[in-house]
Structures are given as structure tokens and as C-alpha cells.
Homo-oligomer: A and B are copies of this chain.
Amino acid sequence: MATSARQGPYFCGIDAAMDVVTGKWKSLILWELQEHGTRRFAELRRGLPGVSEKMLVQHLREMEEDGLVDRKVYPVVPPKVEYSLTEHGVSLNAALESLAGWGQARIERIGADKISVEAA
């Protein structure tokens, strides 16, 4: 199953962090939630151009299981679900910041294209 089955034996901390962060969209979800504080499902979908609903649900479930995001369901008539970062999610994001800096430098070094997310 996709749910759980993680938490395998690790070689080192990197392994453990990677385990939680790998997945095409997870770091982006983390970022999106960090930026906006709280987002509804459809807002996240719109914020991550190209993500499929299935993957978004799946990643969110895994991240919830890993204690990174908080899922709050409002039992209202048009469904409403809000996602936000837990303290672990916030600290993971902080830990990713130096990596983001390195990646940014790499982008400039190799002159890769960048998809602007902040616009639109």
C-alpha cells in the first residue's frame, strides 16, 4: 500500500528525510502550505499546475500520516477540507531552505528554465 510502509530502516538522517519528501509534488505542497498557511484542496490543485487529483490526494494522505500536514474536514454540505502544516511540517520546510538555496544557485549556474509559480 502507499499508506505507511515507509519508516523502513535508514542509513542516515538524509534517508529518513528523503523518504518523507520524495514524491513529485511533496516539496511543492510543503512550499504552498508554508506560503499560504491554510489551503483548501481545490486551492492546492490550482496552485500546483499539472498535478493530478489522485496524486494530490495520495501525497496529502502520506504527509498527514507522516505528521507533516494537518487535515481539517468541515462536515458541510459542499465538502470543505482545509490543509495546513504541522510543526513538523514547518520545521521540515525550514530544513529544506538551505537546500532550496543550493538549488537556486544551481539553476543560475546552469541557466535552467524556471516555471514561475508566484505569478499567475
Contact = CB atoms under 8 A, between A and B. Distances in A.
Interface of A: 7-22, 27-28, 31, 88, 91-92, 94-107, 109-110, 112-115, 117
A9 B95 contact: no
A98 B16 CA distance: 12
26 contacts: A7-B110, A9-B112, A9-B113, A9-B115, A10-B107, A10-B112, A10-B114, A10-B115, A11-B28, A11-B117, A12-B27, A12-B31, A12-B114, A13-B103, A13-B106, A14-B100, A15-B27, A16-B104, A16-B107, A17-B102, A17-B103, A18-B99, A19-B103, A22-B22, A95-B102, A98-B99
Nearest to A95: B102
